[in-house]
A and B are shown apart, each in its own frame.
Chain A
Amino acid sequence: MLKDITLGQYFPGDTPVHRLDPRAKILCVVLYIVALFCAKWVISYALMALVLCVCVLFSRVPFRAMSRGLRPVYIIVLFTAVMNLFFTAGTPVSDLPVLRHITVEGAYTAGFMALRVILLIMGTFLLTYTTSPIALTDALDSLLSPLKKLRFPVHELTLMMSLALRFIPTLIEETDKIISAQKARGADFESGGLIRRAKALLPVLVPLFVSAFRRADELATAMECRCYHGGEGRTALHVLRFAAADGVAIAAFAVLTAAMIVLRNLGW
């Protein structure tokens, strides 16, 4: 049950998208997001959707997997859409009782808003689907390295990130085990009101925290045994190198963003 959670799972593969330098991919996603927020009207949204579709096709990530990842955010999308639908000022669609509250502008805003959230999430999902967590943190480490001059602990931050990612499956497995053990002692997680249910989680959360601390402690010892001493003078096993394709990708997305800004000013 808990194991079925998708958390930006990595789809291994060897496609042009997978092969891009993770730093290039992060920059592309940032440009993509900026472009997405510039989109204003049907033409620009269509262009953004097209770009995303092309990228997904190149990456060979199945569309089903992309939409499955969207499942938890459908409610948020629906909520913002409904809110926009009813609370945007403008000309009403019709004089009928319910439709009186819906405006033409509201309908457009609701549609665009939903589309924007979906495109945003799918775009970022494509990044995590095609980039392994390790590559991602390495890329962040490299991209944020200028901040080291400001004494910002970049290496520590990315190390924490990769450790957190690495322990998610372990902790999920552990939670499953503890839930089973407490169920075997008659714990009841399914009945009762909100407060009773929250209280019923205590026998799961306490052992989970205890074991998380124990694991952290053991990990720290293991790292010290292997002479870990932070990022100073540390070399990487996989050295990131920009290739021609990375330059092309970044340039393409930069052009896309520029185009969106132009389209925005044209009101398209």
Chain B
Amino acid sequence: MEPVLRIEQLTHTYSAGTPFCRNAVEGLDLTVYRGEILGIMGHTGSGKSTLIQHLNGLLKPTQGHIYLNGRDIWETPSRIRQVRFQVGLVFQYPEYQLFEETVYRDIAFGPRNMGLDEADIDRRVRQAAAAVGLPEEVLERSPFELSGGQKRRVAIAGVIAMEPEVLVLDEPTAGLDPRGREAILGQIREYHRQRGNTVILVSHSMEEIARNADRIAVLSAARLLMEGTPSEVFARADELMRVGLDVPQVTKVALALQKRGVPVRSDVYTAEELRRQIRALRGGGVC
């Protein structure tokens, strides 16, 4: 697998040199591979948001380096804007950043900053709107008269329209109802399937990460706690729970079954997988 982003010994200190100084991220190593969906988990204050703001150069590492396609992004600080077009970052509650008169113009803000010509901007805006499921007629409306879920789609489209190599989403489903959540996640999966771009999904919902990510990185207290495929990570469910993270309901069921002597594996994280295992145990019968 080819690495697209490589984080090397990243440390970030807030309020350095004052009595309030603290490390939000400490000595973190992580590699993101091209074309994967990487899930980043960790509870509030574990350093997730600080980490992802380093990926597009919004924050400068106190120590350590970020390599994008093998080049240190801070090698030429004047080119940091180019990095921001290559690593698109969607903030938490991105709907609060909307400002334009029409949805179309708001989505076009990023591409326009890239200095593209009108035809290219138009194509990108329409494609990005379609990718997040915004109907054509919404494009001419004011973003402020849309519903909360639609506003969020507009904001995500605004980043997708820059066609970044790596799309980073910080809690894209926070504050949405279950249907809105599933819709947005489905669209992100579909976007990833069609373009094959790298996606980094930050969340504290285990279910969400388990169902969508190829690989998971778990942060705890400013450090990388573990890293691996969902089954590798959820196999260490007890460790996750010890640092105050939740595991998927299905994993909990599997653990409870294990305790009662049912020989299922604890690295399951989907209901289908658990059903398959139980069926196998019962000798292929229907359960």
Binding site for B on A (CB under 8 A): 174, 177-178, 180-188, 202-204, 206-207, 210-211
Contact = CB atoms under 8 A, between A and B. Distances in A.
Contact of B81 (A174, A178, A188): A188
Nearest to A178: B97
B144 A188 contact: no
B53 A186 contact: no
Given A181-B97, A203-B99, A210 B91 contact: no
Interface in B96-113: 96-99, 109-110, 113
A181 B94 contact: yes
Contacts of A177: 91, 96
21 contacts: A177-B91, A177-B96, A180-B91, A184-B58, A184-B84, A184-B90, A184-B159, A185-B97, A186-B110, A186-B113, A186-B162, A187-B109, A187-B113, A188-B81, A202-B99, A203-B99, A203-B109, A206-B99, A207-B96, A207-B99, A211-B96
B contacts with A: majority SS: helix
A179 to B, nearest CB: 9
Q: How large is the interface on B (under 10, 10 to 19, 20 to 34, 35 or more residues)?
A: 20 to 34
Given A180-B53, A181-B97, A207-B96, A186 B85 contact: yes
A93 to B, nearest CB: 44
B129 to A, nearest CB: 15
Nearest to A187: B113
A178 B99 CA distance: 10
Contacts of B39: none
A185 B158 contact: yes
B130 interface: no
A103 B144 CA distance: 62
Task: Indicate the member of A182, A186, A202, A203 with the most B CB atoms within 10 Å.
Answer: A186
A174 B113 CA distance: 23
A79 B1 CA distance: 63
A186 B89 contact: no
Contacts of A207: 96-99
Contacts of B113: 185-188
Contacts of A180: 53, 58, 91
Contacts of B266: none
A41 B85 CA distance: 63
Given A184-B159, A186-B162, A203-B99, 10 more contacts: A178-B96, A181-B97, A184-B58, A184-B88, A184-B89, A184-B91, A185-B159, A186-B114, A202-B99, A207-B97
A2 B58 CA distance: 15
Interface in B6-59: 53, 56, 58
A185 B162 contact: yes
Nearest to B87: A184
Contacts of B53: 180
A214 to B, nearest CB: 9
B58 A183 contact: yes
Contacts of A181: 91, 94, 96-97
A177 B144 CA distance: 19
Nearest to B57: A183
A234 to B, nearest CB: 34
Residue in A181, A182, A183, A210 whose Cβ sees the most chain B Cβ within 10 Å: A181
A180 B50 CA distance: 12
Contacts of A186: 81, 84-85, 109-110, 113-114, 162
A210 B109 CA distance: 18
B103 to A, nearest CB: 14
